[in-house]
Structures are given as C-alpha cells and as structure tokens.
Amino acid sequence: MPWNNGGPSPWGSPGGSGGSPGGNGPRQPGGGGPWGSGGGPNAMPDLDDVIARIQAFVRRLLPWGGGAGRGRGLLLLAVALVAAWLVSGFYRVQPDEQGLVMRFGAFNRTTLPGLNYHLPWPIESVIRPAVTRINRIEVGYRSGVGDTRQQTGRDQGGRDVLEESLMLTGDENIIDIDFAVFWRIRDAVAYLFNTRQPTMNVKAVAESAMREVIGRTRIQPALTELRAQIETEVMKETQTILDAYGAGVEITQVQLQKVDPPAAVIESFRDVQRANTDAERIRNEAEAYRNDIVPRARGDAARIVAEAEGSKQASIAEANGQSQRFLSVLAAYKEAKDVTRQRMYLETMQEILNHSTTVVVDDSLKNLVPFLPLNDLPRPAPSPSAPPAPATAPAAPQARSSR
C-alpha cells in the first residue's frame, strides 16, 4: 500500500522525510498526511510502515541500544518485575486480627499476627478480619455513632426506630424497648464463609429473641425488676440461634437502653406508677408501725402476767407462812397456856409501845399540869367549804398515869 509523504511527520525529520521511522528512508514528494504522507482525502497509510515507525520510537526511548545490550536490558527488566511480584506477597497481621489466606478464591489456611507471606496475586490473597474487637449493634434506636465501638449509653443525638422498638408483652400491652448487642468474631472462617451479611444476621436474631422474651413477660415486671433477667435470656437465646446458623459470632453482652411504655400513654402510665409507689410506701409504713407496736404490746402483756404471777406466789407464800406461824403458836399454847399467854401479852405490848409516845410522870410532883399532845395527832384534810381550823386548841386536862 503506498504511503504519501510531503508534510511534517512526528517520526521523521521536520522536512517531512518519510520511509523508515528513523527518517532515513526515501523521501517522496507531496505531503499533508498525519504520518508525513501526502495525497488526497482517500489516501490510506501503509500498516507495515506504521508498525515500523512505532518500533523505532520505542527503541529510541529505551536506555540501551540494539543487539546484545537490548537483550540484557530486557532480562533485567523481567527479573525486576518478577522480584517485585514476589515481594508483593508479604503482608502484616495486626494483634487484633487473624489472617485468612485464599488460594484462587477458596480458603486455604489461617495465619497468626505478625509478618507473613503468601503467594502473590492472582494465586493467593489474604483477608484480615478483627477477631478481638467488640462490635456494637443498636436495635430500636440509632445513636449516630458507628456500630463498632465499646462505649455504652444512649447518645443524646440519636433517634428512635419504632418499627424495631415497639413490642407486645405477655399481657397484651405495648412496650418501647431500645437495646444494644455487643459481639465479637469467635471463628473467622465461619464468620466469613458460613453466612451472608453476618452483621445483619446478628441484628435480626437479637431482635427476634427480644420479641420472644418480651412476648412471655408481663409489662410491669419488664419495666422494673426483670430487666437483668431479660438481658440474660436474650443473650442466651441469640447465642443459641447463631450457633445453629454456624455464624462464628460470640455475644458478649445485651444491654437495655430504654424500657418505657409508648410515648402516647407514657404520662398516664407514670401517674399510675406514682400512685402505686405511694400505695407501696404507705403499706410499708403501716407494716413498720405494726411491727413496732405489736411486739411492744406483747412485751407489756408478758410483763403484767409475770408481775401478777409473782404477786400471787408471794401472797400464797405469805399466807402459808402466817398459817404455819399460827399453827406453831397454837401448838405451843396447848403445851403451856400460861407461859404462852404471858409471852403473847408481852409481845403485843412491846409492839404497841414501840409505836406510841411515852410520858413519864413522877408521883412526888404536885400541881402537875396535865399534858395532852394534840399537835402530834394526825388531822383530817380540811374540805374546801369548811372554815379554817384554829391554829391552837386549849389543852384538855390529862389524867395522870404512872407505871
């Protein structure tokens, strides 16, 4: 096929030389073509000539010439490419990761943390999942932070997802529950190859387990004392289902973030809760008062009964003692009546004189003024209507007595 020359060519000299790509070929008159050829609009370039020009251009770009030097350069280039390809098989596994080597897309082996080597691509490749990191999945709400984190608590900037959080309790009430599931990879091979979208599987299974547990629990215990029990049951149920799936996932914790009635009735429910709390408080106060007053009354009753029993025993003992004394005196009187009568008289007079005032009057004294100790006699208390008694009363004549 003819090649029309005559114009400037990128492969030849500025003067439009044609022929070989080096510009040494025969120059043909004409010009105007893009390859230094001329001709009319229907002129077609010679394909062999174009290939030769390209080869010459590539040879000019290489740092060596032709012949043996060119072969040596190609060999060095090939060795460098092979060395770079082999070096690309080195990889590093971080301490929280586990290396899974894939050979032609199929699992081949696992590698430990550190520097390792696998056959370069496309023969082998490596996947490095984090097996010690604790992942977090939120059900019923979105906190606005990534699912993979270790912090706890509800983010103030989050939002509720009612289609996940509204659940039916065992007594046919609706409850709004937000909870978080913490999990980690236990078996990396099962995690990557046994299930598709393992994170979504963990979320779906946890939500299903929570609905099952809440479905057999009454609303009042679920809101108060059964929160810890619900977390434990949901964690066990979720782990059982994931193990049956062979998901290679371990559930470390289920944490309830919010357990409330629906927003439409929460104020009324809180009023009922406050009333129940007040009733419980009053009941506890009454129970405390009863526990205080009943033992005290029982103690007083026991004390009174004990005092009465003691008084009865004392009265009985005293009566027995007096009867024994009387019987002993009677027996002595029967044995010696005169002596016993004299002794009884002396004892009686001794007792009387011990409690009376004795006045001794000498018979030799004459014109003795009689003495009557009226001031020492007990006086009755005056009545409010009676006039006051005189301070002193005239002394009455006293009979003289002598011993």
Q: What is the pLDDT of residues 1-55, one digit of tens each?
A: 344 444 444 444 333 444 443 444 444 444 444 444 444 545 566 778 888 887 7
* CATH tag, 135-264: 3.30.479.30
To the question of pTM greater than 0.85 for the whole model, the response is no
Structure tokens at 24: 């040494």
Strand partners, 51: none
Residue 301 has pLDDT above 90, yes or no: yes
What's the confidence (pLDDT) of residue 383? 60
Structure tokens at 346: 């002396």
- 62-76, 106-120, 229-243: which has the highest mean pLDDT? 229-243
What residue spans define the domains of the chain? 1-61, 87-127, 135-264, 283-335
Q: Which residue has the higher pLDDT, 64 or 398?
A: 64
What is the C-alpha to C-alpha distance for residues 88 and 81, in angstroms, rounded to an integer?
A: 11
pLDDT digits (tens, 9 = 90+) for 323-360: 998 888 888 888 888 888 888 888 888 888 888 777 77
Q: Is 298 exposed, middle or buried (0-12, 13-18, 19+ CB in 10 A)?
A: exposed
From the CB of residue 325, how many other CB atoms can be counted at a distance below 10 Å?
Answer: 10
Contacts of 101 by beta carbon, 8 Å cutoff, 6+ apart? 107, 108, 109, 110, 111, 118, 124, 125, 126
What is the C-alpha to C-alpha distance for residues 95 and 130, in angstroms, rounded to an integer?
A: 9
> Is the CB of residue 248 less than 8 Å from the CB of residue 194?
yes
What is the C-alpha to C-alpha distance for residues 48 and 34, in angstroms, rounded to an integer?
A: 16
DSSP-derived 3-state class of residue 332: helix
What is the C-alpha to C-alpha distance for residues 17 and 11, in angstroms, rounded to an integer?
A: 9
Closest to 258 in 3D by CA, of 136, 148, 171, 154? 154
> Average of pLDDT values for 101-130?
81
